[in-house]
Amino acid sequence: MKKTIFIFILISITIFSKSNHEKYIIKDFDISKYLGTWFEIVRKDNIFEKNLDFVTATYSLKPDGDIEVLNKGFNINKNKETQITGKAKKKYNDIQNILQVSFFGPFYSDYIIVDYDRENYSWALVFGKNSDYMWILSRKPQLDEETRNLILSKANSLGIELTNLVYVKQ
């Protein structure tokens, strides 16, 4: 009986957590086209990237199917480059745009690609575990102002307050 209750609780938690992300599911997203280097254009200010400019993130497929994540930036206060390597994996087997990322051992956080350029994968809007984390990424160091503003409007319509934004120097 206890085993049955435990299994029911685990299934309920899994279903509940997936339903929290349901509005972000993109059925035609192809993670293989997302791999490669991205330039950070705008982000919500966060402690992990404090004082960083010239930020890039490079995603590459590992033999085990997980994704290596290499984040680089230049700390303008310390006048030096910094980098950190982490890993990402799909949060749900059948959904490619909702990942979990870890830079610190067994601790993972949500990484949700909520919108992107569907033709060329040239830009992406990414949310973290809550509305305190948001990034606009581009394949090129610059993104035209009109596109950037449209992406910011999309983020705002999805509940991101457009405060504490950092426009990253590339």
List, for residues 118-150, the tens digit of each pLDDT value: 999 999 999 998 899 999 999 999 999 999 999
Residue 135 maps to a domain? yes
Q: How many domains does the chain have?
A: 1
If 0-12 CB within 10 Å is exposed, 13-18 middle and 19+ buried, where does residue 112 land?
buried
Q: Is-contact 18 24, C-beta < 8 A? A: no
Residue-averaged pLDDT of the chain = 89
Residue 18 maps to a domain? no
**Is pLDDT at 19 greater than 60 in this prediction?**
no
With a CB cutoff of 8 Å and minimum separation 6, the contacts of 161 are 131
Residue 41 maps to a domain? yes
**Is pLDDT at 16 greater than 80 in this prediction?**
no
Check residue 3 and give its pLDDT: 52
Q: Is-contact 98 91, C-beta < 8 A? A: yes
Range of the domain at 59: 27-167
Joined tokens for residue 22: 């349901």
Q: Please report, for the domain that includes residue 135, its CATH number.
A: 2.40.128.20
Residue 22 maps to a domain? no
Residue 48 maps to a domain? yes
Which one-letter amino acid corresponds to residue 78? K
Residue 9 maps to a domain? no
Residue 1 maps to a domain? no
Stretch 12-40: mean pLDDT, rounded? Answer: 78
Residue 2 maps to a domain? no
